[in-house]
Amino acid sequence: MSENILEIKDLVVHYETDEEVVEAVNNINLEIGKGQILGLVGETGAGKTTTALSIMGLLPAKVGHVIQGSIKLEGEDLLQKSPKAMREVRGKKISMIFQDPMTALNPVKTVGDQISEVILLHDHCSKAEALKRAQDMLAKVGIVPERYKDYPHQFSGGMKQRIVIAIALACEPELLIADEPTTALDVTIQAQILDMMRKLQKEKGTSMIMITHDLGIVAEMCDHCAVMYGGEIVEYGTVEQIFDNPKHPYTKALYRSIPSLDQDVERLHVIPGMVSDPSNLPSYCTFCDRCEEKKGICSEKDPWVIDVEPGHWTKCFQYTPEWEGK
* Closer Cβ to other proteins, 170 or 185, answer by number: 185
**Contact code string over 175-214 relative to other proteins, x by CB under 8 A:** -----------xxxxxxx-xx-----------------xx
- Rounded Cα–Cα distance for residues 201 and 171 (Å): 14
Instruction: Say if strands 207-212 and 37-41 run parallel, antiparallel, or are unpaired.
Output: parallel
Work out the burial of residue 243: count CB atoms within 10 Å of its CB; fewer than 13 is exposed, 13-18 middle, 19 or more buried.
middle
Q: Would you say 29 and 8 are in contact if contact means Cβ atoms under 8 Å apart?
A: yes
253 forms part of the interface with other proteins (CB under 8 A)? yes
- Choose which of 106, 154, 280, 320 interacts with other proteins (CB under 8 A): 280
Name which of 166 and 254 has its Cβ closer to other proteins: 254
Nearest to 27 by CA among 224, 204, 231: 231
Q: How many residues does the structure list for the chain?
A: 326
SS3 185: coil
Per DSSP, what are the bridge partners of residue 197? Answer: none
Residue 254 in contact with other proteins, rule: CB under 8 A: yes
5, 8, 11, 26: which one binds other proteins (CB under 8 A): 26
Q: What are the E-state strand segments in the chain? A: 4-16, 21-33, 37-41, 64-73, 76-77, 94-97, 175-179, 207-212, 224-229, 232-238, 306-309, 312-314
Question: Quick check: 258 binds other proteins (CB under 8 A)?
Answer: yes
- From 78-86, 87-95, 110-118, 236-244, give the range in contact with other proteins by CB under 8 A: 236-244
Q: Report, in Å, the least distance between residue 257 CB and other proteins.
A: 4
Interface residue with other proteins, options 257, 309, 320, 326 (CB under 8 A): 257
The answer to whether 152 contacts other proteins (rule: CB under 8 A) is no
User: Which positions lie near other proteins, rule CB under 8 A?
Assistant: 12, 14, 16, 18-21, 23, 26-27, 43-44, 65, 67, 156-159, 186-192, 194-195, 213-220, 231, 239-240, 243-244, 253-255, 257-262, 264-265, 267-271, 274-275, 280-283, 286, 302
